[in-house]
Amino acid sequence: MTVALQGVGVSPGTGAGTVQTMPAPVAEPPAADLSPAADVEAACAAVESAAAGVQADLADAAGHASGTAAEVLTVAAAMAADPALATDAVRRVRELRRTPERAVWEAAAVVIDQLAGLGGYMAERTRDVADVRDRVVARLTGVRPPGVPAPGHPFVLVAHDLAPADTATLDPEQVVAIVTAGGGPTSHTAILARSLGIPAVVAVPGASALQDGETVAVDGSAGTVLRDPGPDDLAAADRARARRDRAFSGTGRTADGHRVQLLANVADPSGAVSAAEAGAEGVGLFRTEFCFLGRADEPPVAEQVRAYRAVLAAFAGKKVVVRTLDAGADKPLPFVTADGEPNPALGVRGLRTAARHPEVLDRQLAAIAEAAHAEHAEVWVMAPMVATPDEAEAFVARCEAHGLRQAGVMVEVPAAALCAGPVLEHARFASLGTNDLTQYAMAADRELADLAALSTPWQPAVLALVQATCRGAAAHDRPVGVCGEAAADPALAPVLVGLGATSLSMTPRALADVAAVLERVTLEDCRRVAALAVAARTAGEGRAAVREALPVLTGLGL
C-alpha cells in the first residue's frame, strides 16, 4: 500500500527510483594488536590488496563520473595511488603487529599531520587522505564504503543530511532525487540540489525508515515521498520529468513584456561558464568567499584578480554583481573571522569583518577594480550583511575610492529592509538575500531541520520585509534584485516581481522554469498574487493561494 511521507520540498520536479541510503561514517578501529597466532604476512597482503582495490574503484568511478564529481574522484584516486600510506601501514603490521585496519588508520594520521603542518593547499588535502583511509578501512572490515553510493544505476539518495564534501560527488545523471531527514529550505543540501536540478525533499520525519532497494516517488514541489508508489504515481513522475526538459531563451519578461532580468548565482569561474552556457543574462550574485573557503591565509591580490577576471570574462558586456567576502557563521574564513563567538550568525560576519580588518576589504576592492578594468563585464559590487544607512554610506564611499561606481548592498538583515529608504539613499541598488532575511526575521537557524516550517521565504513576515525594501528603493528609483533561494522558486518568482523586484538571480538550473512561468503571467497577475501572499495568515496558506491563482504552475509540472 502506498504511504506518503511529508517533508519540505526544496528543489522542484519529480523523480522515482530505488532507494540508496548514505552509509554511516567509518569509525576509528580499536587500538588492537594481532593475536600471537595471526598470520602477519597474510595481514600485510590484506592491507596491500585493500589499498589497490580502493585505488581501482576510485579510478573506475572517476571514469564514469562527470564535472566536479570526476575531478574530486580523480584527486582521491591519485591520493590512493600514493604508496606511502600502504607502505607505512604494512610496516606497522609487520613491526608493531597492529591489526591491518588499525595500521592503516595510524599511518594515515601521520600523513594527515604532515600535510596539516605544511598549511595552504597541502593542508586542504587532509580531507582526501582521510577519505582514502576510510575507504581502505571499510574494505578491510567489510563495512560499506563512505560517500555517495554508486550502485551503477539511477537511484534516490536518502541521507540524514549531506556534507559539502559528499555533495561534490553527486552526479545528476545517477541521483534522480534526494530525501533527507535533516536540513532546511536554505541548507547546503537544498542549495546544491537546486543547483544540480535534482528534485529534493528535506526535513522528512520518516526518512530514516526508508530501506535500500525499496521504490519511492519523490515530488520536490509538494514535498512528498511516496513509499511503494502505484503505477499511476510512477507514470506521473515520468511525465512531469519529461515536461521539465526546457531551456531558457536568454531574456526574462512577463507575458505583457515587463522585463525582469534573470541572472545567475555563481561561486567560481567554472560556475560562471556553466551559467553563461545556460543563457543567464548576467550574474546577480558572485559569492567570492567560495573561491577561498578552507584557506588559512588571505589570498594575494594577484590570485584574487585571476579568479575575478575568469568570472567576468564569461559575461563580457553583461552585468556581474560581485559580493565582497561574506565570511562568518556557516562560511568561516580564518583570516577575517574569529573563533569562539557564542552566536556566529549574529556575530562579526559579512561587512562587519571590515571594521576589524579594513585592509582585507580594501585589497579585495582593489582586486575587483583591477579585474573590472581588464575585462568587459559591467561590474557592480555589493556588501553582505549591511544593517544600517551608515554602513551603506561607508561601503559606497570605499568602493568609489577604488573607482567602483555601481556599489550597493545586500538586504538580508530585517533592519536594512525596514530602513531601506535611508539605506538606498546611499546604495545604488539592493539585492535581497532572502536566505538570511528569513533566518533573521523568523529567528530560525537556516541549517536546522526542526525549524524548516519557519525557515521559508513564503512566511508573510518575510514577504512584508521584501515589500518594505522595494518601497524604500522605489523612493530613490533604485533597482532591487533578489538573489536568495526564493528567486529560484517558480511559484514565488511572480510574487517577488509583483512586490517590485527588478531582477531575479538563481542557480542556472532554475532559469528555464522561472522564465517559463513569468512568460505566462502578466505584471498585473504578479501584483495580484503578491497581495495574496503578503496578506496570507501563514506561509502554507500563502503558497496554496498563489498556486491556486496560477494554474500554469501545475501545467508546467512545477
**Contacting residues toward ligand PEP, per CB under 6 A:** 285, 287, 326, 412, 433-436, 483-484
- Minimum distance of ligand PEP from residue 288's CB (angstroms): 10
Minimum CB distance to ligand PEP smaller for 408 or for 484: 484
Report the distance separating Cα 289 and Cα 324, nearest Å: 8
- Minimum distance of ligand PEP from residue 506's CB (angstroms): 10
The reply on whether position 414 binds Mg ion by CB under 5 A is: no
Asked if residue 488 lies in contact with residue 479, where contact means CB atoms within 8 angstroms, the answer is no
Minimum CB distance to Mg ion smaller for 104 or for 506: 506
Q: What type of residue is 276?
A: A
Report the distance separating Cα 421 and Cα 502, nearest Å: 17
Partner in contact with 434, chosen from ligand PEP, Mg ion, none, beta carbon below 5 to 8 Å by kind: ligand PEP
188, 258, 357, 476: which one is catalytic? 188
291, 399, 419, 483: which one is catalytic? 483
- The residue behind cell 505566462 is 520
Measured N-to-C along each axis, helices 83-96 and 100-118 cross at an angle, to the nearest 10 degrees, of: 130
Minimum CB distance to Mg ion smaller for 412 or for 525: 412
Whether 419 is a known active-site residue: answer: no
Q: Which of 2, 117, 95, 83 is nearest to 43 (CA)?
A: 95
- Minimum distance of ligand PEP from residue 6's CB (angstroms): 25
Query: Of the ranges 200-208, 227-235, 405-413, 458-466, which one interacts with Mg ion (CB under 5 A)?
Result: 405-413
282 backbone dihedrals φ, ψ, rounded to 5°:
165, -165
Minimum CB distance to ligand PEP smaller for 103 or for 320: 320
Q: Which of 432, 384, 411 is nearest to 263 (CA)?
A: 432
Partner in contact with 287, chosen from ligand PEP, Mg ion, none, beta carbon below 5 to 8 Å by kind: ligand PEP
Minimum CB distance to Mg ion smaller for 327 or for 558: 327
Report the distance separating Cα 147 and Cα 149, nearest Å: 6
Asked if residue 270 lies in contact with residue 508, where contact means CB atoms within 8 angstroms, the answer is no
The reply on whether position 436 binds Mg ion by CB under 5 A is: yes
Q: Which of 501, 421, 466 is nearest to 252 (CA)?
A: 501
- Minimum distance of ligand PEP from residue 83's CB (angstroms): 41
Partner in contact with 484, chosen from ligand PEP, Mg ion, none, beta carbon below 5 to 8 Å by kind: ligand PEP
User: How many residues are given for the chain?
Assistant: 558
Query: Of the ranges 189-197, 433-441, 520-528, 544-552, which one interacts with Mg ion (CB under 5 A)?
Result: 433-441
The reply on whether position 289 binds Mg ion by CB under 5 A is: no
Phi-psi region of 430 (alpha: psi -120 to 50; beta: other; left: phi over 0): beta
Q: What is the 3-state secondary structure (H, E, C) of 18-34?
A: EEEECCCCCCCCCCCEC
- Minimum distance of ligand PEP from residue 462's CB (angstroms): 11
Asked if residue 257 lies in contact with residue 526, where contact means CB atoms within 8 angstroms, the answer is no
- Minimum distance of ligand PEP from residue 302's CB (angstroms): 25
323 backbone dihedrals φ, ψ, rounded to 5°:
-95, 135
The reply on whether position 433 binds Mg ion by CB under 5 A is: yes
- Minimum distance of Mg ion from residue 534's CB (angstroms): 22
Residues in a beta bridge with 18 = 215
Residues in a beta bridge with 21 = 158
Q: Which of 449, 13, 375 is nearest to 194 (CA)?
A: 13
Q: Cα(first)–Cα(last) distance of the chain, in Å?
A: 26
Partner in contact with 146, chosen from ligand PEP, Mg ion, none, beta carbon below 5 to 8 Å by kind: none
Question: What x/- string results for residues 365 through 404 when contact with Mg ion is judged by CB under 5 A?
Answer: ----------------------------------------
Asked if residue 263 lies in contact with residue 281, where contact means CB atoms within 8 angstroms, the answer is yes
Minimum CB distance to ligand PEP smaller for 332 or for 433: 433
Minimum CB distance to ligand PEP smaller for 237 or for 267: 267
Whether 426 is a known active-site residue: answer: no
Partner in contact with 483, chosen from ligand PEP, Mg ion, none, beta carbon below 5 to 8 Å by kind: ligand PEP
Residues that bind Mg ion (CB under 5 A): 412, 433, 436
Mind telling me the catalytic residues? 188, 483
